[in-house]
Amino acid sequence: MTDILVVGDTTNGKLGSATAELIRAAGNLVGDVGVGLAGSRLQEAVREASSMGAQTIYTMESHKLDDPSVYTKVTAFSQLCQQLEPRVILVSKNSHGLDFGPRLAFSLGAGLAQDCIRIGEDDDTGRVVATRPVYGGSAMATVTFSGDGPQVVVLREKSYEPASQDSLESGNLVQVEVNLGSSGDQVKSVRQVGSVAKGVRLEDAEFVVAGGRGLGGAEPFATLEELANLLGGAVGASRAACDAGWVNHNYQVGLTGRTISPNVYLTVGISGASQHMAGCSGSRNIIAINKDREANIFKEARFGVVGDWNAILPSFLETVRELV
């Protein structure tokens, strides 16, 4: 039996960083930890999950499970959960998990806690106690579950550090047969279009420089990109900048965008609305440049510069060029 089941994500046969974060988070709960993997070519992902401390790795191998359709994976994991009867099921909050988590919970008749950033256990009841942002991230709520059924928790990415890989692979491998039937037929994948990522992935960057409405257009983002390249980081943006069409929505940081936790987060022309801060609150050091001294971003920033970015950023960039 497995007390805590982590729903694993794989990319090109390798374990996703979000799954490593879930394995780390599972350490805050009492019980054995298992990782469920669905798809084909899972050997490398199995090895990684085992070296991260998962007691058991359950594989459901089928080429049908490589399809991005959420329906097929819900069918597979629903059958796995019915066999294992886990007490807690952990899902990562990404574009797939946001849809997958509620559907899995419904199929199991289970309770669901969405968009959580911390989890623990109630000493008296043994049920999960989770912390999640509410009111656009301006407040935090503590939630728990009622009843004795399974508890599905969707955890925001970057809420926990990824579990590190040990040299020992101590997990047991269990191959599970699932009947997929006609699941997935509701949606037909016509074509998958990939984008070539340049530099460091936004979620993995230790340095992120982001621009907002205050930049006034798309051109200044070239300066931000140069700065990010010099410091080995990545470029982000506020929703306002993305909605204006200045940069692609893949750059968006915030409640409806990406969640980041860099060592340094430099914002330029971003006011710091609660929806934006919900995506970067895990940053260790926030540095803000904004001409409005009353901007909310200064309440969250460790260092702040009040002034026109046109006068500040070029000289800062020149100094960085000299230092690197």
Q: Please report, for the domain that includes residue 165, its CATH number.
A: 3.40.50.620
Q: 155 and 217: one domain?
A: no
In a domain, 309, yes or no: yes
CATH number of domain containing 298: 3.40.50.1220
Task: Assess whether 11 and 149 both reside in one domain.
Answer: yes
Q: Are residues 132 and 227 in the same domain?
A: no
Q: Are residues 167 and 296 in the same domain?
A: no
Instruction: Determine the structural domain holding residue 229 and report its residue range.
Output: 202-323
Task: Count how many residues are written for the chain.
Answer: 324
Residues 215 and 124 in one domain: no
Confidence tier at 295 by pLDDT (50, 70, 90)? very high
**pLDDT of amino acid 74:** 94
Distance from C-alpha of 278 to C-alpha of 237, rounded to nearest angstrom = 14
User: Is 181 domain-assigned?
Assistant: no
Residue 163 lies in a domain: yes
**Domain contains 242:** yes
Q: Please write down the HEC assignment for all residues of the chain.
A: CCCEEEECCEECCEECHHHHHHHHHHCCCCCCEEEEEEECCCHHHHHHHHHCCCCEEEEEECHHHHCCCHHHHHHHHHHHHHHHCCCEEEEEECCCHHHHHHHHHHHHCCEEEEEECEEEECCCCCCEEEEEEEHHHCEEEEEECCCCCCEEEEEECCCCCCCCCCCCCCCEEEECCCCCCCCCCCCCCCCCCCCCCCCCCHHHCCEEEEECHHHCCCCHHHHHHHHHHHCCCEEEECHHHHHCCCCCHHHEECCCCECCCCCEEEEECCCCCHHHHCCCCCCCEEEEEECCCCCCHHHHCCEEEECCHHHHHHHHHHHHHHHC
Q: Percentage of the chain surpassing pLDDT 70?
A: 97
137 falls in which pLDDT band (50, 70, 90)?
confident
Stretch 279-293: mean pLDDT:
93
Is residue 137 located within the same domain as residue 42?
yes
pLDDT for res 194: 67
Compute the average pLDDT of residues 302-323: 94
Token readout for 102 is 């509620």
pLDDT at 253: 95
One domain for residues 164 and 206: no
Would you say 260 and 282 are in contact if contact means Cβ atoms under 8 Å apart? yes
| Residue 189 domain flag | no
For residue 175 the two structure tokens come to 């191959």
Say if residue 298 is in the same domain as residue 152. Answer: no
> What residue type is assigned to position 173 of the chain?
L
Q: Is residue 193 part of a domain?
A: no
Q: What is the pLDDT of residue 29?
A: 95
> Mean pLDDT over residues 308-323, rounded?
93
Q: Specify if 252 maps to a domain.
A: yes
Binned at pLDDT 50, 70 and 90, residue 196 comes out as low
pLDDT, position 184: 65
pLDDT (mean) for 188-211: 81
Q: What percent of the chain has pLDDT over 90?
A: 68
Q: Give the pLDDT band of residue 237 (cuts 50, 70, 90).
A: very high
pTM across the whole model: 0.83
The better pLDDT of the pair 68, 251 is held by: 251
| Tally of domains within the chain | 2
Q: Is the pLDDT of residue 168 over 80?
A: no
First-to-last alpha carbon distance for the chain, in angstroms, is 54
The answer to whether position 40 is within a domain reads yes
Based on the fold, state whether residues 166 and 45 are members of the same structural domain. yes
Whether 25 has a pLDDT exceeding 70, the answer reads yes
Same domain, 154 and 255: no
pLDDT at residue number 12 = 78
Q: Are residues 144 and 258 in the same domain?
A: no
Give the mean model confidence (pLDDT) for residues 239-253: 95
Pairwise CA distance, residues 142 & 115, whole Å? 12
For the segment 79-131, what is each residue's pLDDT rounded down to a tens digit?
A: 999 999 999 999 999 878 889 999 999 999 999 999 999 999 998 999 999 99
Same domain, yes or no: 10 and 61: yes
Name the strands in the sheet holding 303-306, side by side, starting at the edge strand that comes first in the sequence. Answer: 234-237, 207-211, 264-268, 285-290, 303-306
Q: Which of 123, 156, 175 is the last residue of a domain?
A: 175
Instruction: Using the predicted structure, report yes or no on whether residue 150 has a pLDDT greater than 70.
Output: yes
